[in-house]
Amino acid sequence: MRIVVVDDDKLVCVSLKTILEAEQDISVVATGNSGKDAVQLYDSLRPDILLIDIRMENMTGLDAGEVILKRYKTAKILFLTTFSDDEYIIKALRIGAKGYIIKQNFECIVPSLRAVHMGQSVFGDDIVSKIPSLISSSSKADFSSFGITEKELGLITAVAEGLSNKEIAGTLFLSEGTVRNSLSAILEKLNLRDRTQLAVFYYKNR
């Protein structure tokens, strides 16, 4: 797994490189200290994953990520930051980041990289808990371009609002088995792995 690490704190870059390269399957191919570095390094090296901080002078990690994802639709970007500001989370979701984790949860970094490498989206528990409150119910989304029916959209919305299968069943007057089977079918249709990815999908596309 080839990783590029970008953080405006050079000591953080050195520390992350040391931690990551202790793993046999991870190689840090380059480090950078700015959003501009991130774009240039991604262009030249095309790493498997870009692990990048958010708050950096001149060009933020989010701005760099947006530039990269416009050029390379399949780029895998994992944000590692001290801040869980709502506006950062919203932009990370909208630009198509594969993950957003907090630096303090350093034990999650390696497992998160492996999950992203396998195609999963990774948002720490403290981030996932914020997603429902970031979803406004004031506007109705149109998911017909994804082949999603009104009934399926109701299920997706309920998941995005943080409801359990039991709560969804009670709200929509369905059996738990029907809810479970319907959600499995929706995940397969959208090529998503789990409820977290489904909530992220809903928020990104509404």
Question: What pLDDT digit, counting tens, does each position of 97-141 carry?
Answer: 888 888 877 788 999 999 899 988 887 665 655 555 555 544 455
Closest CA to 55 of 103, 104, 105, 7: 7
Pick the last residue of a domain from 129, 154, 185. Answer: 129
192 is written with which tokens? Answer: 């998503």
Tell me: the pLDDT tens digits for 162-193? 888 998 988 888 899 999 999 999 999 998 88
Domain that holds residue 200: 135-205
Axis crossing angle, helix 195-205 with helix 86-95, rounded to the nearest 10: 90
Whether residues 116 and 142 fall in one domain: no
Dist. CA 50–CA 35, nearest whole Å: 11
CB 78 within 8 A of CB 97: yes
Whether residues 64 and 151 fall in one domain: no
Pick the last residue of a domain from 103, 129, 155. Answer: 129
**Amino acid found at 94:** R
CB 98 within 8 A of CB 116: yes
